[in-house]
């Protein structure tokens, strides 16, 4: 790439694929070749803001010199950052920050008279409690929204903004009509989701039932699960002669629920029947395999016969995505199947959150609870523990279910653990005289947080500014990571004699590791490829943030603790460790 336009084109290609952090990094590379280029600086900061890294976006906005630029798009970006900061602020600070964000948008509106900043003013004024000012602006914006747009995309946003204005005014019927019109103008599900989330804020403020947003609802997301099919003539929980009836029932359930996305495994029997039905209706199939492909087919597909292997290959070739919970071997650890289930269920929930839509589970199940650590009954129980319901398609088995309950992993087996790696950006530039203060204040603050996690911490270690933690579950790890960031940000670094540019970055992963006594340390330690994977995340994490892998985000999605993970794209891990699908963790 040579000129700035070439760099911008590459950045926009990455944005269109949802690779926000790659787009940010590419924009920065373009700025190295073309210092001070406003459009590249704008895209760099915009992608950080889209990724949810608001504080870092604000810092980069100032570092790249955008704060002094006289440009409408850059002014809109500053307003967006102010809006994002306001919406995530503590309740007692929110009204004032919302008003400040509204002021920024209003300055843009007064300068150009466009509907987009105007409708943001109306909504932000309403959320800040200034109903009269909100209604005045909403009335002013409505005629602008009714004007014909320059493109289908513009027509969608005009219709959606008209609906927003009507909701600000409390005109529910008019808003519903505008949303019906918007639904016929745009089919970008991400744009629809953003609209629904914005409008839901207004509904809550106005006490309006958010059922009015139904015209922009996305197709349903499902997690599917079910029994493997028995070989022809053999007894089993899913006999081969029941295949046609089960396949028909699956097709009817998908149609009735308007399913557009399915997440699950690809074992012979129910899994493949779900996959084929999803593909037949043009829905997205997202396959999650618990371990290496060859071993999986040998264990979970081949026993049903050669035709099922061909059907497996066909589904895999047409899947929208293929995820390996771990790309390592099975090693005879039955619970590794449950790890794959955690990932599949969590990804379904995460996709529904992104789309602002409904997520359900459909299971082909004989209703027998075996108490096993994996299998259809385990999947159903895990799903129901989240407070969600399961639609069961009866599997009329002709063989008793084996009790497959397994003990907890033996010491020689891998164990599922949550891991955090961290470091402090700027540590390497500290002067020798500042090291004692770093140990006392920064490491002291970290140690103070970890003192509250003794029951959950399996291992802790530090070297210089490096930090490695192993915790027993993803929820505890998420809470610990966010507490560490809070403690770090609360430090008055200048008063401590340290540069105020120091910032903690944390990467998290959830996966199988070996627990063993470290011959060097003489202590219990954790080993394996998933430890190495965690170590490669932290170097690519923006300072002041917590980024986690897809497996971590998926496991966390199954917990009702209120943590959110926003997808930020595929990120090249440090030291050529490949690419990882990454999420931004926030409370």
Which CATH number goes with the domain that contains 489?
Answer: 3.30.70.1230
Query: 158 and 47: one domain?
Result: yes
Cβ proximity of 585 and 542 under 8 Å: no
Residues 242 and 387 in one domain: yes
Which of 216, 238, 255 is the C-terminal boundary of a domain?
A: 216
pLDDT of residue 329: 78
Closest CA to 460 of 509, 525, 515: 525
Same domain as 474, residue 352: no
Report d(CA 60, CA 52) in Å as an integer: 14
Contact between residue 21 and residue 571 where contact means Cβ atoms under 8 Å apart: yes
Q: Kindly state whether residue 399 falls inside one of the protein's structural domains.
A: no
Last residue in a domain, options 173, 193, 216? 216
**What tens digit of pLDDT does each residue of 44-81 get?**
999 888 888 888 899 899 999 999 988 889 999 999 99
Question: Within this chain, do residues 227 and 200 fall inside the same structural domain, yes or no?
Answer: no
pLDDT means over runs of 10, the chain (587 residues): 88 81 87 93 91 85 91 93 93 96 96 94 97 97 91 92 97 97 86 92 96 95 95 86 94 97 96 98 96 92 94 96 84 82 95 92 90 84 93 78 47 81 93 95 96 92 92 95 96 94 94 87 84 79 89 91 78 66 86
Burial code (b: 16+ CB inside 10 Å, e: under 16) for 287-300 equals: bbbbbeeeebbeeb
Same domain, 425 and 365: no
Is position 481 within any domain?
Answer: yes
Query: In terms of domains, do 202 and 91 share one?
Result: yes
- Identify which of 237, 254, 223, 471 has the alpha carbon closest to the alpha carbon of residue 341: 223
At 404 the pLDDT is 46
Is residue 101 domain-shared with residue 203, that is, in the same domain? yes
Looking at the 3D structure of the chain, how many domains does it have?
3
409: in domain: no
Residue 402 included in any domain: no
Predicted confidence at residue 576, as pLDDT, reads 57
Considering the domain architecture, whether residues 206 and 283 belong to the same structural domain is answered as no
In terms of Cα–Cα distance, which of 326, 321, 344, 323 is closest to 336? Answer: 326
Look at residue 403 in the predicted model and tell me its pLDDT. 46
- Nearest to residue 229, comparing CAs of 373, 390, 399? 399
Contact status, residue 498 vs residue 434, Cβ threshold 8 Å: yes
For residue 255, the domain's CATH number is: 3.40.50.450
CB 394 within 8 A of CB 235: no
* Tokens standing for residue 151: 């493109």
Q: Distance of alpha carbon 516 from its chain centroid, rounded?
A: 32
Three-state SS for 387?
A: coil
**CA pair distance 228, 226, nearest whole angstrom:** 7
Expressed as residue numbers, the domain containing 141 is: 4-216
Query: 511 and 460, same structural domain?
Result: yes
Q: Cβ(228)–Cβ(268) under 8 Å?
A: yes
DSSP class of 130: -
Whether residues 260 and 244 share a domain: the answer is: yes
Question: Residue 417 corresponds to which tokens in the numbers above?
Answer: 């653990």
- The pTM for the full model equals 0.87
Any domain includes 405? no
Tell me how far the alpha carbon of residue 559 is from its chain's centroid.
Answer: 14
Q: Give CA 435 to chain center in angstroms.
A: 37
Query: Which of 169, 167, 170, 164 is closest to 182 using CA atoms?
Result: 164
Residues shown for the chain: 587
Does residue 400 lie in a domain region? no
Could you tell me the two tokens for 89? 């602020």
- The domain boundary, picked from 333, 363, 394, lies at 394
- Decide if 61 is inside a domain: yes
Same domain, 227 and 285: yes
The alpha-helical segments, DSSP class H, found in 257-369 are 270-280, 293-300, 306-318, 336-355
Residue 207's CATH number: 1.25.40.10
Could you tell me if residue 406 is inside a domain? no
Please tell me the predicted confidence (pLDDT) of residue 201.
Answer: 96
Residues 164 and 278 in one domain: no
CA dihedral 116, 15, 356, 173 (to 10 degrees): 20
**Residues 345, 383: Cα–Cα separation, whole Å:** 8
């Amino acid at each position: 790439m040579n000129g700035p336009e070439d760099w911008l084109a590459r950045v926009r290609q990455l944005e269109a694929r949802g690779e926000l952090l790659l787009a940010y990094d590419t924009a920065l590379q373009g700025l190295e070749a073309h210092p001070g280029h406003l459009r590249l600086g704008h895209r760099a900061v915009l992608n950080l803001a889209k990724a949810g890294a608001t504080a870092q976006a604000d810092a980069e906005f100032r570092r790249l010199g955008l704060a002094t630029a006289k440009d409408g798009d850059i002014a809109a970006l500053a307003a967006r950052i102010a809006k994002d900061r306001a919406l995530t602020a503590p309740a007692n600070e929110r009204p004032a920050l919302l008003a400040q964000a509204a002021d920024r948008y209003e300055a843009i509106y007064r300068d150009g008279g466009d509907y987009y900043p105007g409708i943001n003013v109306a909504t932000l004024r309403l959320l800040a409690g200034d109903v009269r000012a909100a209604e005045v602006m909403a009335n002013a914006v409505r005629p602008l929204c009714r004007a014909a747009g320059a493109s289908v995309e513009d027509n969608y946003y005009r219709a959606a903004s008209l609906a927003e204005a009507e909701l600000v005014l409390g005109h529910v019927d008019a808003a519903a009509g505008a949303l019906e019109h918007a639904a016929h103008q745009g089919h970008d599900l991400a744009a629809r989701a953003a609209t629904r989330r914005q409008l839901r804020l207004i509904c809550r403020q106005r006490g309006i039932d958010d059922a009015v947003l139904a015209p922009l609802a996305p197709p349903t997301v499902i997690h599917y699960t079910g029994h493997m099919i028995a070989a022809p003539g053999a007894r089993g929980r899913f006999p081969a002669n029941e295949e046609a009836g089960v396949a028909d029932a699956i097709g009817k359930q998908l149609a009735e629920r308007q399913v557009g996305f399915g997440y699950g495994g690809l074992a012979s029997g129910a899994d493949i029947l779900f996959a084929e039905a999803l593909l037949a209706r043009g829905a997205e199939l997202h396959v999650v395999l618990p371990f290496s492909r060859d071993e999986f087919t040998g264990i979970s597909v081949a026993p049903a016969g050669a035709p099922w292997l061909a059907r497996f290959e066909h589904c895999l070739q047409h899947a929208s995505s293929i995820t390996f919970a771990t790309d390592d071997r099975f090693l005879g650890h039955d619970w590794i199947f449950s790890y794959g289930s955690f990932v599949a269920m969590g990804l379904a929930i995460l996709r529904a959150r992104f789309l602002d839509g409904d997520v359900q589970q459909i299971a082909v199940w004989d209703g027998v609870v075996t108490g096993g650590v994996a299998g259809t009954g385990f999947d159903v129980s895990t799903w129901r523990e989240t407070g969600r319901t399961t639609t069961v398609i009866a599997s009329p088995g002709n063989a008793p279910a084996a009790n497959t309950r397994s003990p907890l992993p033996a010491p020689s087996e891998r164990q599922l653990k949550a891991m955090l790696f961290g470091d402090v950006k700027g540590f390497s530039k500290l002067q020798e005289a500042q090291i004692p203060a770093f140990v006392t204040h920064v490491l002291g603050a970290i140690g103070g947080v970890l003192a509250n996690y003794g029951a959950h911490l399996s291992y802790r270690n530090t070297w210089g500014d490096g930090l490695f933690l192993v915790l027993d579950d993803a929820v505890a790890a998420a809470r610990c990571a966010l507490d560490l960031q809070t403690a770090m940000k609360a430090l008055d670094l200048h008063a401590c004699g340290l540069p105020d540019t120091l910032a903690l970055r944390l990467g998290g992963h959830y996966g199988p590791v070996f627990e063993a006594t470290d011959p060097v340390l003489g202590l219990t330690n954790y080993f394996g490829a998933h430890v190495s994977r965690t170590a490669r995340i932290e170097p690519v994490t923006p300072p002041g943030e917590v980024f986690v892998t897809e497996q971590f985000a998926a496991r966390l999605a199954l917990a009702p603790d209120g943590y959110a993970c926003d997808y930020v794209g595929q990120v090249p891990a440090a030291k050529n460790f490949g690419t990882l699908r990454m999420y931004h963790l926030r409370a």
